[in-house]
Structure 1
Amino acid sequence: MAIYHLEAKVISRGAGRSAVAASAYLSCSQIYNDYDGIQHDYTRKRGLVWQEVFLPPIAPAAWSDRSILWNAVEENEKTKDSRLAREFVVALPIELGKTDWQSLLTEFIQDNFVAEGMCADVAIHDPYPPGHNPHAHIMLTIRPLQENGKWQHKTEKEYLCVRDGAEWGFTSAEYKIAQAEGWEKQYQYLVGERKVYMAPSEAEKQGYERANKYPKSTKYGRQNPISQRWNSDEQLLIWREKWATVTNRHLAQYPEIDARIDHRSHAARGLDELPTIHEGYHARKLEAMGIVSDRCEINRQIKADNALLRELKAKVKKLAAAVKTSIPELANALESLRENMIVLMYRISHIRISKQKISDYVDAVKPVVERYTEIKQEIKEKNTERKQLRAEQDSLPFIHVIKHQKLSEQVATLTEDLEELKSEKSMLLNSMECADDAAFSKFKKEVKNLDTQMDALEQAENKFTAELDRTLERYRDLEKTVADVDAGELTDTRMELRTGKEQSAASQLQKIYGVKYDYDMMRQSKLEVKKMLGEVTRKPSITQMLQRKEPESQMQKPPKRKQKDYER
């Protein structure tokens, strides 16, 4: 089914990643990184369904080649911990096909990113086996663009200037105007053994010596307002909502698809359940199946079943002792046995449906659990391998340039593999509504407990089936004793009792199931018992026919309509 998953990341050199490597990985292509001289080749990677580069009108046309685009990004960023790109990983609804995915992503990217001036590099991955985990990677440029296609600054130096005891921040362009209005930059001056910031005019009056040439400024500078908005939590929430909206719109194009996604948290939707499978989704699923959510509740249910069986057996014994040759007693005994059979048939049907739903659920989640376990192991192994390669690289003399470069390529490949695995891991956690590994462990335990619950339901079904067979046998034995009685009168008496007995059966089941009592299942149980007993629609007795005709004979016939003069 369609799930909501949108994971936001930042590709930065500080985390050991490069934009070129990430782009080559998501597009399964080969790109050379001019910044560090590493050739990234992922042409043998499988699972690529579709890839595209989207550019705003002000971007250079050459950037439609992803190698040129991301090398331009790498060239413009100078520091060793630069933020190079923003990445979104989104889950694609399995109800849609390849063409729908392309249309969905194109609309989302054009309306939310390209329209804002970002360049976007997107790829759809559908790892083996096809349809198992379709998702898309969207890489976005972080710096805004100028009208001439040049990069804008992320942040700008902001000098803290003073005037008449007040302090205010100005950029270089702003300071040219502020300086004419009497604002001065502040520098460090030696005041005894201390370094104190003050304006040059004040320091000169007191004869202080300047300690260095750097003016006082804010720690991080002034952020570009466009970048500031893109980096805000509020904007991320908007993008998350937009993804849900556009996905639901594309799903709604197909009337046969009723799946929808929701970007909001459980708390935002007014749900009390925690967003973990073992206490939220999983428990709700089991309740929707008509069974309880854990092993203790199953045991309590079985105790209630056993109590019902004891009650039914006691009833049968009492009937067997009380039955004589009188028609009312025989009719009551037969209808009471029939009532018991309806109750037993309902319980058996309910258990079988619950077993089928649990079986379907386990079949659906077991591959997810197995894949998640595999991914955890793969991440562990690749982390170990990457650590070993980095240690080998650090211990290698710098003169071995080629060896260094090969090790760097291997580390970059492992880093991108790890990012892909982490994204898939996050997506699987989201599909199971688990917040972390601890929640997954509880979920895995709950899935294992379902096997125990299936065994308990199997035992309960066997008990009810055996009791149903015994009740049917008693019914057949009792039928043999009615050979000498008036069949018509016996049938009439039984029909008079039947409605009350069926209501009694329904009442018993409603007490057991409460709001989960199913009227359709009750109707079906009656039909099954009717077939089991070989009941056919019998003709009513003469007494019943007379009783039915009597009201009709007493009804007054409508007066004969007189002919009007104009009808003659």
Structure 2
Amino acid sequence: MGIYHLSVNIIKRSEGRSSIAAAAYISGSKLTNSYDGLTHDYTRKEHIQYSNILLPQNAPIEYRKRETLWNAVEKSEKSSKSQLARSIVIALPKELSFEQQKELLEQYVQDNFVSKGMCADLAIHNPPKTNHVGIPIDENGNLTHDPAQMNYNNPHAHILLTMRPIDEKGKWESKSQVVYMCKKGMEEKGFTAKEYKECASEGWEKLYSYIDGKKKRWLTASEGEQFGLKRANRSPKTAPFGKVNPIIEEWNSLDTLKAWRKNWEIAANEAYKAYGLDERIDSRSFADQGRTDEIPSIHIGPAASHIMMIDNSIPDRVSLNQYIGKYNNWLNRAAERYHETIEKINTYIYNTALNILNAKNMLAKLKKKKSKLESYNDKLDNEISSYSSIINLVKNEFNYAKQANIVSKKKIEKWQKEYLASPMFNTIHRKKLQEKISREEKKIVNREENLLLLEANCNISDEKDIETVEAAVLELTDKHEKIREQIEKTDASIREYMEKADMAAGITDPMIRQAVQEEVDSILEANISQNKLYMIYSTKEKQRGL
């Protein structure tokens, strides 16, 4: 894995630092600070491979000269506590060539800083690896003064950024703006000078101090004229605190810093990928990466390096880094031995997990099959019950209509005889007999109509149809019995695979048993059980006829 390092700090005048000195250091040049008259000469500094200045669109062309740019910065800052520049140090991917590093750096600076309005002074340093007293060594650890034999494995970039944006006229913007208190009607609100120009047409007026007898009042110009009062001075009322420049506020925010760090990770990893390299870097801390056992190294810094070169001693920071390196190497070797030791156990665990998952997979299929069989069985039950009900209904209706019609016909025959035997002058009696006969005939007709409707609905018209339906019911009943037999066989298979699916419970070692269960969960999460397992066990399944 590649090395990730991106640190940011502010160059402050209160700490005795200057942007001119920082620019001279990273570029290996000689620059004079017009603010304090000091000259900073780093022309003897070695191993500076590249330096350049990138400017935003509004920056004056003369700012391409390093001394002019940073003297302009020093001149714009009046306070002894001024923040002069932002300094960023980035570890460059050592797996890339110099030209690739340069292209990556320039693109990152352009996208994240220059395009946002900052002037950027950047440089690439690549000092050789040295021993504890700062003498260069080769790849074998031998002292050398031959540049061709030196081991250059620490390429890094220095970036100096301006702290103020530049306006359309090429001038530095203020870090904060005066807020003028204005009034419209009974409402009072604060505006910057630019905002006031836009809002003045809406009726907003600045507040001024007016003399009212022995007192002073804050009034607008129109109110002072209305009351005939004299203005105390020409200064308008301002808010106690100015408004921070929103661009500078964004540059200084924690979210922006996090974005810069993340964007460098993305840019470097894209470069690794573009050049066909497997290396990657991660902007997260060891804790966020899950590497809680490893200890991150600390930054040695130029002061510790200077001590090693002066008195031949090893500073505490260097000793601590050496110890951290040894500890992390031991930790990595121990992890490798651990993985080699458990490889066979993992193979056993994996195979056992596959067997368990196969059993669970087959168990799921069998349960699904049983569910379908039971559903079909219920459907047969309903059909048998329905057909049986229809047969009983039709039989009952036929029998009832047949018997009722016989009775009705006997009654009609009786009343017809009685009607013929009665005298012609007995009209009332004869009329009653006719009405009885008519009613009984209607009953016969209604019964026959009901039978016709029943035949149409049930598709049964005679006893032969009834026999056909009864035969169908017998056939369905036979199917029903066969389905019940299949359900019983499926239940037996389910019990068998339930025992196999619980194979882990039979492992005596609790750690292995837990590992098997975790491997089962892992395979399920990888979503291979439905595909890979089927391929592994398809032959067995076919042999079992499932």
TM-score bracket for this pair, using the shorter chain length: 0.3 to 0.5
TM-score by length of 1: 0.46
TM-score (norm 2): 0.47
**In terms of Rg, which structure is larger?**
2
